Amino acid sequence: MLSQGRRMERPVVIHKVASDLRLSPNWVDYEAGRRVDVWADARHALQGLPGGGLNLGFEAVDRQAAGALRDHVALRFVARNAPPLDLRYFELAQQTNRFANVLRSLGVGKGDHLFVLAGRIPELYVAVLGALKNGSVVTPLFSAFGPEPIAARIQLGAGRVLVTTDALYQRKVKQIRAQTPTLVHVLLVAEDGGITNEPDTLDLGTLMASASDTFSTVETQPDDPALLHFTSGTTGTPKGALHVHEAVVTHFATGRYALDLHPQDRYWCTADPGWVTGTSYGIIAPLLQGVTSLIDREEFDAERWYTLLEQERISVWYTAPTAIRMLMKAGTELAQRHSHPDLRFIASVGEPLNPEAVWWGQEALGLPIHDNWWQTETGGIMIANTPAFDIKPGSMGRPLPGIDACIVEHLEAEGEPARVRVIEEANVEGELALKRGWPSMFRAYLNNEARYRKCFAGELYLTGDLAKRDADGYYWFVGRADDVIKSAGHLIGPFEVESVLMEHPAVAEAGVIGKPDPVVGEVVKAFVSLKDGYQAGETLRLDISAHARRRLGAAVAPKEIVFLPTLPRTRSGKIMRRLLKARELGLPEGDTSTLEGGAWTK
């Protein structure tokens, strides 16, 4: 009963009127169902290199520093125990020039791979952008990775340079030097501001101080490699997706159409650059749109986050369902102790956003949350509830202008190349596919050509996600192909079940798996963690179970519900259902290199 009454009052669509985007000619055409070439528009807005070619770092930094935004704050770093640090566009240009000159002086050039292993410190951002300007290929890594995942990634990318801090070097890198023979230069940031003198390393501060602050960007072409990103490892061993400089076209267009960024915005993307979101939308897209980006060096803390939103006067906020669920867990009251008059747009990515979370945004922050969908492989946002369109809570939104999405069915289970049929009818489940050719499409899984080929069926890129499209063109996530549960002839998407569990006031998060069953194939089993103030117990379990049966029917509702203090999740915040399942079945856990906390105990 508890949640049913409340649900009744909620419309299925949230109407939008805000944003000047709605009036832009492209948007009007798009809404009218006409084709819009946003890529051409973005290419036009980008400058290109003076001598020809296209470079991500140049467009993000130098184009702005040479224009009206020269003195505008590009990046604002905040930390608990240090004063804020602002880097203006011209300063960022100078710093990245210095870093590019450091690389050049070391003989590191176009196509060489550079890894960065650091917290969200200014040097990380300078190194990423400076290396791009130098034509090198960049991979930021989560600083919380252990030595083995670091070594494995450097090996796969044949890393030539690593930028890290003295402390991280001592703890995690020193011991893997012998395993990473390609690594010629290790550049250390001294965290106390002094000078490092570790053997076989160089002190970055010293090199930067003596490097020139002018640099002409290395001529890169749209198809030259720029970024190597590892997938989150939610479904298995992380894959290295290679992106090229042309991705800048998607970053530019989506920064505008999906996030509605304008130079006067104060924008905060909470993702770490170790995950593709923290690079595409935590570094590049905001700079391309000339905004001021907030970078918080600390880890999640509900009180701190509300305070930052308020005090830093954030206007556009891009975060993830896991963070939203943690804020929900901390209670609406805490949110309401703060006011956020400047906040005008909130978006989320990484996992399905339960309708409950969209509504929570409305209640706690005064704004609904806009879900959007993309992957490491797509390099940028593909499907979104945009600032200009009505939101359908629970839906990922509609394909952005320039993106052709469809739902397909496989014509045979296995076989290569895959053969698929496009499902034209609305509301039919199938695999989500995208017509290839968008600028930020990945160009390889590094060293895994066979796996890359498997992702394509003719002109279509197959995403591995199951979804359906409604009659209005909105896409609805069903589950990952690997996670879908087959029970008594039904296909059950975990997202639907998890969203219903989340409606229960006690539930903070839910992960649902299929547990093998001799009679029906698989039964639905749910793992649930509770909001603060609720006690796990039989009465509560029965109440949640009754709620699920009422909403889903007996065939789909979980047969078993288990309470856990937390669910296992990746560093990018995704629930690892495969780990829940492996533990349930007593099977090997597989690759857990991206597991948050390094280990997870029941």
- The binder of 203, among Mg ion, ligand ATP, none, by C-beta within 5 to 8 A per type, is none
Give the residue with the Cβ less far from ligand ATP, 244 or 308: 244
Q: What angle do CA 507, 511, 512 make, to 5 degrees?
A: 115
Least Å from the CB of residue 144 to Mg ion:
20
Q: Of 475, 554, 559, 476, nearest to 517 (Cα)? A: 559
- By beta-carbon proximity to ligand ATP, the closer residue of 239 and 256 is 239
Site for ligand ATP in 215-274 (CB under 6 A): 231-236, 238-239
Considering the complex, state which of residue 261 and residue 462 has its C-beta at the smaller distance from Mg ion: 462
- DSSP string over 480-528: EGGG-EEETTEEE-HHHHHHHHHHSTTEEEEEEEEEEETTTEEEEEEEE
Residue 595, C-beta contacts closer than 8 angstroms, at least 6 positions apart: 568, 569, 570, 571, 576, 579
Nearer to Mg ion, 57 or 479 (CB): 479
**Which does residue 572 touch among ligand ATP, Mg ion, none (CB within 5 to 8 A, set by kind)?**
ligand ATP
Question: Which of residues 235 and 529 has its CB atom nearest to Mg ion in the complex?
Answer: 235
For residue 251, the minimal CB distance to ligand ATP (Å) is 16
Work out the end-to-end distance of the chain between its first and last CA atoms, rounded to an integer number of angstroms. 31
C-alpha 36/C-alpha 451 separation (Å) is 32
Residues 473-492 that bind ligand ATP (CB under 6 A): 477, 480
* DSSP sequence for 19-68: -GGGGSHHHHHHHTT----HHHHHHHHS---TTS---HHIIIIIHHHTTT
371 binding partner (options ligand ATP, Mg ion, none; Cβ < 5 to 8 Å by kind): ligand ATP
Site string for Mg ion, 485-524 (x = CB under 5 A): ----------------------------------------
- Give the 3-state secondary structure of residue 277: helix
Could you tell me how many residues of this chain bind ligand ATP (CB under 6 A)?
26
> Considering only 128-136, 346-354, 510-518, 534-542, which stretch makes contact with ligand ATP by CB under 6 A?
346-354
Q: Which residues neighbour 230 within 8 Å (Cβ) at sequence distance 6 or greater?
A: 139, 153, 238, 239, 240, 241, 376, 594
Least distance between ligand ATP and beta carbon 591 (Å): 9
Smallest distance from the beta carbon of 386 to ligand ATP, in angstroms? Answer: 13
Return the number of the residue (231 or 487) whose C-beta is nearest Mg ion: 231
> What x/- string results for residues 564 through 593 when contact with ligand ATP is judged by CB under 6 A?
--------x-x-------------------
Is the CB of 119 or the CB of 350 nearer to ligand ATP? 350
**In which element (H, E) is residue 303 found?**
helix 302-311
Residue 548 CA to residue 542 CA, distance in Å, equals 10
Pick from 154, 512, 155: nearest CA to 352? 512
Rule CB under 6 A: is residue 373 a binding residue for ligand ATP? yes
* Contact (Cβ atoms closer than 8 angstroms) between residue 242 and residue 442: yes
As beta bridge partners, residue 569 has 575
Chain positions 377 to 436 lying near ligand ATP, rule: CB under 6 A, are: 396
Positions 214 through 233 that interact with Mg ion (CB under 5 A): 231
User: Rounded to the nearest whole angstrom, what is the least distance from the CB of residue 442 to Mg ion in the complex?
Assistant: 11
The contact set with ligand ATP (CB under 6 A) reads: 231-236, 238-239, 349-353, 371-373, 375-376, 396, 463-465, 477, 480, 572, 574
Q: By CB under 5 A, name the binding residues for Mg ion.
A: 231
